[in-house]
Amino acid sequence: MQAPSERLGSFYLGAEYDLDTGKILDMPINYDARDLTTHAVCVGMTGSGKTGLCIDLLEEAAIDQVPTILIDPKGDITNLMLRFPELRPEDFLPWVNVDDARRKGMSVEEYAQSIAEKWRSGLANWGIGPERIRRLEESGEVTIYTPGSNTGIPISIMSSLAAPGLDFATEAEAIRERINGTVVALLGLVGIDADPIRSREAILLANIFEHFWQKNEDLDLARLIMSIQNPPVRQIGVFDVETFFPEKDRFELAMALNNLVASPTFKSWLEGEALDIDRLLYTDEGRPRHNIFYIAHLSDSERMFFVTLLLGNILTWVRRQPGTTSLRAILYFDEVFGFMPPTAEPPSKRPLLTLLKQARAFGLGCVLVTQNPVDIDYKGLTNAGTWFIGKLQAERDKARVLQGLQSAISEAGGGGKDVDFDSLLSRLGSRVFLLHNVHEDEPVVFHTRWAMSYLRGPLTRLQVEQLMAGRKQAAPSLAPDRPRARPAVAASVQAAAEEEDPTPPGYLPTPPAAAPNVPQKFLPLALDERAAIRQLEEDSPRALDVRRVQLVYEPALVAAASVRFVDRKRKIDEQTRKVLVTPAPEEGEPVDWELAESLPITLRDLDERPARVDANQGPFFAPIPGGVNTARELKSIERDLSDWLYYNSRITIKVHPDLDVFQRPGESERAFKIRLQQAARERRDEEVDKLEKKYDTRISRLETRLRKYRRELAQDEAEYEARKREEVLSLGESVASFFFGRRRTSALSSAARKRRMTSRAKQEIEETKEEIAELEAEIAELEEELKEQADEITRKWAETLDVLETEEIGPRRSDVDIQVVAVGWLPSWRIVYDDGRGAHSATIPAYPMPDVEE
């Protein structure tokens, strides 16, 4: 079979299959990627080929640059990493099943050779060559995460306890749903089967979560345990906390959670990349990622805990996305059995049902797979627009699938009465599926194509470790940002003898006098004395004997200002606040604001008084330069600063002129690139839709004529066969008349007439065939035109992604607000020490320093 032409947004899953003849038809199945936004269900018994079908679908999604999150309870989906463009035996050798080779009486090398040949032949039969496998390999990064284990890439659950960042006033119901799921799953880990309405453990934890999340404050397990012992809320319902849940009982709950945290086996849950959906879906460069969450090694309670946290994070991410009709990402659940049962209410069920109801509007497609159709809540699956149904073994499985399918058809507004689904399902074989898609007119039976990935079967933990060994060393940590020590600034060291007088040379023990209307601000301490000593010791090649540490303040010019940038056309209203520091000028000297440093603090961080230290440590103050000693001088400086900010403040945004998408102020390159790709995908889909509608009208008109001529051909062929029979009979009569002498002339004339009628009927067949051939050629030509123009649209939007323009937005005069210009006191630690070669002193800046640009 020849593979269909490559077209983004169209998934090549296989070809139509004739159940009567048992043959694969030369009619490829191209599934529209956007149909996945209404979700999909795949059911089939073991051996039905559903894993192969789903791998096919995920391969197509990868080629289409759609990021995916894959929940893999059995280990089958790890096969997505076994891609070998060259299809060499040595590529397959490390991954073939040794037991399979032994059963076939072959060495491992011989078996790898046979598998390589089998894969090469299978792919060739479906028109797939090494180039397409290579394209799949280059389409995006595949990572296997192993929660609670270091076998693959570990994933940290700590970010799942962080505040979701949603507005409680408008999203209270959604946040409470996530709290309930998180609490029930967490309690399940310590053996408490909690009902969110009746369990006092669940109610207490839910109130603690709500207290912090309502204030947008993050939680971690340590803070949660401490909050159980000392709850931040005084009352739960109408009872005070002590009555509702006495301190002794709370201590037992806190101990149970503490034992969990203290357990060495639990430490791996707290290590690794953060469970941050946005960063999991795309790399820093904006390329799509494919994330396999391998949970085969976890216990049932651990699986439930992790899946609930993951689904809650996905739901929060979905609610932050703008609406779209295009496919933005895929959530794939390889075996949903146990996570969405028909009657029970495990913590995973609610977020899963919510995703099925709401995620479609935001472009997230959910694909749920199971071999246990009886044990799934089909009420939730009525939201699925696509059903892939494979071979089913038990009659009750088939009955349950039919029930769910009919419900989905009714939900979509169809009757489903014209198709005998019961009969179709009974005749399905291995790798043959019934595809029901609410976006298409009728269901279709198809045979799945050969997978490009090697379907080896579930990988073991050792094999997962082998696959991820190189990635562990290179993988960047996605853990939540934590405060880090600011890079040390090189100390200016000057020789000095240790003085008896504690006041350093050139400094005063009290702030120098300034005019009463001259404002003074003290910058905060960002470095304590111990950190200053440690920094000095790290910069020194010799051991140091520290004799004295003193806090000194140097005067400078500090200013706090805000600048507003407004672009009404683009609905930009951005305000930036700055705290600038520059050397204080001497009297008569101008201030060069180009030399000013912007500090990572706000006006609120500036103090009215110096920091307190021990009396022998100071603080001590340098003299104030004459250029900032009067209010008049500062007022002039303030006017100069206002002018400088007006003329030099700009925000630069990148704009895609064709898509009319611009980079929002403060938006990272990565986030902008992701939005740009999504906008291009939506525009591509819109243009291809219009193009298809235009061609569909013309092709439909020709196909109507084609059907008419095919009916005529059938009639002409039937008439031709009848004429041939009449001609034979007439010829027989003529021969009889010739020998027996009866109506010889009349018989010959009749035979000639029959021959002419037969000839005419044959001519009509040829003419009809010519008409059919012309129509088929015309339809093929239109379809080729459609393909070329659709490919051109795809190319156009892919190539123009990098065609960006830059625009600058400046402030108006009234948008520059100078909040303060003052004498700014910069703190430093003056350290007197001996390095074995004599006494020295060094001054280490202790105020928040500007970020170092790399």
- Contact (CB, 8 A) for 709 and 770: no
Q: Report the distance separating Cα 136 and Cα 58, nearest Å.
A: 10
CATH code: domain 1-154+272-482 is: 3.40.50.300
> Among all chains, which residue has been given the structure tokens 């038990």?
394
> Among all chains, which residue has been given the structure tokens 């749920």?
368
What is the pLDDT, as a whole number, of residue 751? 54
Q: Which of 506, 528, 522 is nearest to 607 (CA)?
A: 522
User: How many CB atoms are closer than 10 A to CB 492?
Assistant: 11
E strand residue ranges, 744-815: 805-809
Token pair belonging to 435:
């595809």
Cβ neighbourhood burial of 782 (10 Å; 0-12, 13-18, 19+):
middle
Cβ neighbourhood burial of 226 (10 Å; 0-12, 13-18, 19+):
middle
Q: Report the distance separating Cα 601 and Cα 307, nearest Å.
A: 40
CATH 1.10.287 intervals, the chain: 669-807
> Among all chains, which residue has been given the structure tokens 């389409």?
139
Q: What are phi and psi of 731, to 5 degrees?
A: -65, -40
What is the pLDDT, as a whole number, of residue 494? 39
CATH 3.40.50.300 intervals, the chain: 1-154+272-482
CATH of 669-807, one of 3.30.300, 3.30.160, 3.40.50, 1.10.287: 1.10.287
> DSSP 3-state assignment of 807?
strand
Q: What are phi and psi of 638, to 5 degrees?
A: -60, -40
Q: Report the distance separating Cα 363 and Cα 356, nearest Å.
A: 11
The rounded average pLDDT for each run of 10 residues, N- to C-terminus, in the chain (854 residues) is 76 94 92 94 94 97 95 95 95 93 93 96 95 92 93 87 84 88 88 85 94 88 90 91 93 91 87 90 90 94 92 91 91 94 90 92 94 82 90 88 82 65 91 94 94 94 89 51 34 40 80 79 88 82 82 91 89 88 81 87 88 82 79 86 91 87 85 88 87 87 86 79 65 52 52 65 82 87 86 83 85 91 90 81 86 51
Q: Report the distance separating Cα 83 and Cα 182, nearest Å.
A: 37
